[in-house]
A and B are shown apart, each in its own frame.
Chain A
Amino acid sequence: EAGVTQSPTHLIKTRGQQATLRCSPISGHTSVYWYQQALGLGLQFLLWYDEGEERNRGNFPPRFSGRQFPNYSSELNVNALELEDSALYLCASSLNRQGGNQPQHFGDGTRLSIL
């Protein structure tokens, strides 16, 4: 069974540009989560999607947004990129909306570098 897959592996952008990161969950999983892992800041929760709807977002500005498609895959969009957005972006998926009793399984991440 394939795990969570993310693309691209690496992404290099300049300040002010827009970035799109993609995630395919494990087959059968309906919830998708996004986390940012920035140097010195640890793992920070960004967004949670389930059944095509945004269920929760972390303490990030509105230029971080995303969506979930009918096949449960997801996109994370970051507009007006800033140097501080350089980080590893991790996607996770779980079986159902009530994520508490279902562990989140992570992909290998997209390394976003802002020049």
Chain B
Amino acid sequence: AQSVTQPDIHITVSEGASLELRCNYSYGATPYLFWYVQSPGQGLQLLLKYFSGDTLVQGIKGFEAEFKRSQSSFNLRKPSVHWSDAAEYFCAVGPSGNTGKLIFGQGTTLQVKP
């Protein structure tokens, strides 16, 4: 069965520090992978996506993610975190086949210390 695991429910980093959010997936074929961010009271904003090709993808707001097939991972990184990055981050895979369905991880809440 397809699934996404975000092992860290909550992460706290200091402003200016680097960030890595982990995402592991289980998928039968070459996956489509996404990272979304959700600020309080808002919807999901697409940060970046991986479909194929270069395994290091760049996104908005200075984020990047690396697809590692051997580890079934798609970790999100940012070299220097800003206070405005505090939010909940979701990794997603899919849609599988012709279902239209994205499968989301449970999310990681990022807190940024001043």
A interface with B by C-beta (< 8 Å): 4, 6, 31, 33, 35, 42-43, 45, 48, 50, 55-56, 58, 90, 92, 97-101, 103-109
Main secondary structure of the interface of B (DSSP, over half): loop
B interface with A by C-beta (< 8 Å): 32, 34, 36, 41-46, 49, 51, 90, 94-96, 98-107
What's the nearest-Cβ distance from chain B to residue A47, in Å?
A: 9
Instruction: Verify B99–A48 contact, CB threshold 8 A.
Output: yes
Instruction: Verify A90–B32 contact, CB threshold 8 A.
Output: no
Main secondary structure of the interface of A (DSSP, over half): strand
Give chain A residues whose Cβ lies under 8 Å from the Cβ of B45: 106
Instruction: Verify B104–A43 contact, CB threshold 8 A.
Output: yes
Instruction: Verify B36–A106 contact, CB threshold 8 A.
Output: yes
* Docked complex Cα distance between A14 and B36 (Å): 32
Instruction: Verify B104–A100 contact, CB threshold 8 A.
Output: no
Q: Which residue of A lies closest to B46 (CB)?
A: A103
Instruction: Verify A42–B32 contact, CB threshold 8 A.
Output: no
Taking A56-B98, A99-B100, A106-B36 as given, write out 11 further A-B residue pairs in contact, using a Cβ cutoff of 8 Å, ordered by the A residue number: A42-B107, A43-B102, A45-B102, A48-B101, A56-B101, A90-B44, A101-B51, A103-B46, A103-B49, A108-B41, A109-B42
